[in-house]
Amino acid sequence: MSSSLERIPLDVLLQIAFFSAEPAPLTSLDSLLQLLLTSRTLYHLLSIRTCPQLYADIFRVTFDLSGYLRKSGQCAKTTSYLAQELRRRAGLLRRIRRSHMTHEHLLSDLWGIYFMLLESDSLNEMHLHSVGVSQWILGVLENLCPATGSCDQQTVALAIVVASLVLSRNDISALRPEAYNRILDSIRPFATYTPLHLHEDAARSHYFGQGPSDGTLYNGLTIFPPNLSSSSIFLTFALKEAIPLQVPPHLPATRAEAIAVGNDGPTKEDFFAVTAMRTPLLADSFQPSRSRESVSDLSQEEQRPSRSTIHDEDFSRVARRLDLFPCAQELETYLPGLLTGIWEGSYMVAPSVAAHPFGIEENQDFLCRKPIQFRLEEFLSFAPWLPLPIDSSPSTDNHGLQNPSDRNDEPPSRSVQFIDGNTGKCYDYEPLRLSGVPKSGRNARHALDVVIIGEVRGPFLSVLRHVVLTPIRQTPRRFQVAWGAYKYIGRVRLSDGLISLTRKPVSPCQSPCE
């Protein structure tokens, strides 16, 4: 028996099918499937093979489109591809809702979640959180066994970075103690492993102890897994902050009490100030009410900064377009101005710099957690001036800074010279202004290299080889009294964005260099 719907004009039928889908949030295409099963004729007219434009239209209004189009190759923008992507995402969301973690789909599901998050302007996150992605990824992390090799590194890297993007502070605080410990144990080998020297080719490989890996083809792009070490460290900080550190009972309560007894160390106030700092989590900034479908005024929506744009740099680090020449470098490993400003928080000391994340005999925890606070400023070196040689290792003992205008009674200048204590040569640098434009007006992205230098006393001058970073003011006196005064020096390697920073105490009685 034929359905009365068969006599409806096709354009009207398409509208009925379009509105039968439930895009808020999308958990399945069951309602559309029921319409297709009404009759053989309707199935033929509305199937994904014969009518891909219907499913592409549903995709466009259901998921965030701007980030998807910006991060996809040309082949991923066709109607038929969008229709297939809708079906893939519907299957992904269904498996998450049902807590399915089968080995067959796990890797592809992690990739799908990861890119939905990178492309999200709120809608993608709404769909993922509505099906319980936080609990799903916690289950994945609990079952990871990196030390035994039961999961490949690509799966581990994706699981950890997805967790760092979808877990909120409440999700972490609600973890059972046994689950909390299992997750920390599973990611600890990757967080505590720190090579003494990172090879120049390491930027092409996101794995430990392995050479470059073949990428995965996705939306016309060659995709490599995200960095395993950095995401593990980030998630470890977020997890450890869920359990507050115990305040040593012998500490004086306030600075006034400490001065009265001649104590220059930290007080309970100082301790609380440090332990109150929290790692910012992306999931905590997600507000479902700000999704596009809840906004009636499109002009207000256009004024909002896109959430997906903050992930463009992350995406460029794992993706390379196939239509570029192999030698083309579209990855920007250093963003001028990124390191300028006050840095405060804490850092953890790993048990061994030589431990390998696989095959290790002991899974040791971090030795301690220490507070840190300093301010950096960037100085850039441009052609035709030569920067500090790349094989030179900056040292606060062997190098110095001077203002060249001080020598000839010239007006004060923010330009500085970096003096190589090993050779006596001087290298010219100029500061990067807050507007992102150097004093000379040249494009900061044309700088040659980055060196980081800093002190804790007096105005800080620093130098860059291509770019230089230095603290510009002394560490606050209160922080110095509580935790000690330090000076910093290091550099940014533009080939892969590696930042190496050495901390040295001003007073010889303090802890050694780190």
Mean pLDDT of 146-175: 83
Question: Among 25-34, 231-240, 380-389, 471-480, whose mean pLDDT is lowest?
Answer: 471-480
- Name the pLDDT band for 409 (thresholds 50, 70, 90): very low
φ, ψ for residue 99 (rounded to 5)? 60, 35
Let me know whether 236 and 348 are in one domain.
Answer: no
* Structure-token pair, residue 297: 């005024």
Q: Check pLDDT > 90 for residue 165.
A: yes
Pick the most confident of 3-7, 277-281, 483-487: 277-281
Whole-model pTM: value is 0.74
- Please give the angle made by the CA atoms of 191, 193 and 247, to the nearest 5 degrees: 50
End residue of a domain, out of 240, 272, 306 = 240
Calculate the alpha carbon distances from 130 to 81, 112, 170, 231 in Å.
25, 16, 16, 24
- Is the domain of 227 the same as that of 345? no
Tokens found for residue 24: 């808020």
412 falls within a domain: yes
- Mean predicted lDDT score pLDDT of the chain: 73
Dihedral angle computed from the Cα positions of residues 230, 232, 233 and 238, in that order, rounded to the nearest 10 degrees: 130
Residue 495 located in a structural domain: yes
Residue 144 predicted with pLDDT over 60: yes
Residue 57: is its pLDDT beyond 70? Answer: yes
CB 321 within 8 A of CB 337: no
Q: Are residues 236 and 345 in the same domain?
A: no
With respect to residue 147, please indicate whether it lies within any of the assigned structural domains. Answer: yes
**Pairing relation of β-strands 467-470 and 450-454?**
parallel
Give the range among 217-226, 255-264, 274-283, 326-335 with minimum mean pLDDT: 326-335
Task: Give the residue with greater pLDDT, 175 vs 399.
Answer: 175
Mark whether 346 and 236 lie in a shared domain. Answer: no
Q: In which element (H, E) is residue 344 found?
A: strand 341-349
- Of 10-24, 250-264, 360-374, the poorest mean pLDDT is in 360-374
- Residue that wins the pLDDT comparison between 177 and 510: 177
Q: For residue 391, is pLDDT > 90? A: no
Q: What is the largest CA-CA distance in the chain?
A: 100
Q: In whole angstroms, what is the distance from residue 327 CA to residue 118 CA?
A: 25
**pLDDT higher than threshold 50 for residue 292:** no
| pLDDT value of position 162 | 95
Task: Assess if residue 424 is contained within a domain.
Answer: yes
pLDDT for residue 424:
73
pLDDT of residue 74: 67
- Domain annotation covers residue 335: no
In a domain, 431, yes or no: yes
How confident is the model at residue 413, as a pLDDT? 47
Do 491 and 348 share a structural domain? yes
The range of the structural domain enclosing residue 194 comes to 4-240
pLDDT band at 435 (very low <50, low <70, confident <90, very high): low
Residues 460 and 348 in one domain: yes
Write down which residue in 215, 240, 265 finishes a domain: 240
Q: What is the pLDDT of residue 135?
A: 94
If one counts the domains in the chain, the total is: 2
> Is 304 inside any structural domain?
no
- Average pLDDT (184-191) is 85
Name, of 196-205, 281-290, 474-483, the range with top average pLDDT.
281-290
Is 275 a member of any domain? no
Question: If you average pLDDT over residues 252-281, what whole number do you get?
Answer: 84
Question: At residue 344, does pLDDT exceed 60?
Answer: yes
**How would you class 375 by CB atoms within 10 Å of its CB: exposed for 0-12, middle for 13-18, buried for 19 or more?**
buried
The secondary structure of residue 310, as a DSSP letter, is G
Confidence of residue 168 (pLDDT cuts 50, 70, 90): very high
Q: What is the mean pLDDT of residues 429-457?
A: 65
pLDDT bucket at 160, cuts 50 / 70 / 90: very high
Q: What is the mean pLDDT of residues 287-303?
A: 48
- Inform me whether the pLDDT recorded for 1 exceeds 60: no
Task: Choose the final residue of a domain: 240, 263, 281.
Answer: 240
Q: Examine the domain organization and report whether 227 and 359 are in the same domain.
A: no
272 compared with 25, residue with greater pLDDT? 272
Q: Is 487 helix (H, G, I), strand (E, B) or coil?
A: strand
